[in-house]
Amino acid sequence: MTTAILLVAGVGSRLRPLTDHRPKCLVSLGEETILARQVRLLSAAGVTRLVLSTGYAAEAVHAALAGCPLPVTFVHNPDYATTQNIVSLHRALGAVTDGDVVKLDGDVVFTGALLPRVLRRSDGAVVAVDDRQPVRDEAMKVSARGGVAERFGKGIAPAEAMGESIGVEWFGERARETLSAAVASAVNAGRTDLYYEDVYADVVARGVRMACVGVGDLPWTEVDDPADLARAVDLVRSAG
């Protein structure tokens, strides 16, 4: 049983006024929202349930998924405005007791060909990496050896990076348990300022093999601002 964890707590302030009363995941791409598109593609890829970690405008997310064909669990991060996404992930992982998980940032737009590359049946983990585009200094980067992730972070020098982590990862059941323990340790120690990727190095150190899968040949974009949104709309129009 594969659970999708969607992190949809953020405010999306750079997209205002579109996000005055709704989070980024509910911004329209044309015929569907970012969230509706993600749910459709996840269902088509064989995901069987959803866990959404909400924060800003949570009631709008609840309303948007009324009648969703997949079972949905909502967990809420009331501290979304003062903590990083490790807290939202921690709360979501607490709602998963079995099976594997695929974790998605709530603002990433991609094509249907991406998820089949990421979803696996093993005890390890997979991270989707854009290995084609020039790596931006501010991007969340991944360094790897032999196709296996070693380090994650914005501070990795572009020359040392395999590419940019796009915000989609898969964890087999044992790897999920290790991830849950690592995230819980960080949060319980008060490290709520961390990005979840900051803990992935700890997951690797605990023995989880995180395979890097190149997806740079596939259209994708993170939606942070109006220019990103325009790219996302173009992606959907051309790729469907």
Average pLDDT, the chain: 92
Q: Per residue in 49-82, pLDDT tens?
A: 999 999 999 999 999 999 899 999 999 999 988 9
The pLDDT > 70 percentage for the chain reads 100
Cα–Cα distance for residue pair 86/14, rounded to 1 Å: 21
CB 57 within 8 A of CB 74: no
Confidence of residue 159 (pLDDT cuts 50, 70, 90): confident
Cα–Cα distance for residue pair 197/215, rounded to 1 Å: 18
What domains can be seen in the chain, in order of their start residue? 2-239 (3.90.550.10)
- Find the helix packing angle between 173-188 and 85-93, rounded to 10°: 130
Contacts of 208 (CB under 8 A, 6+ apart): 124, 125, 171, 174, 175, 178, 179
The whole-number pLDDT of residue 216 equals 92
The whole-number pLDDT of residue 240 equals 67
pLDDT at residue 121 greater than cutoff 80: no
* Mean pLDDT, rounded, for 178-197: 93
The whole-number pLDDT of residue 54 equals 96
Q: What is the pTM of this model?
A: 0.93
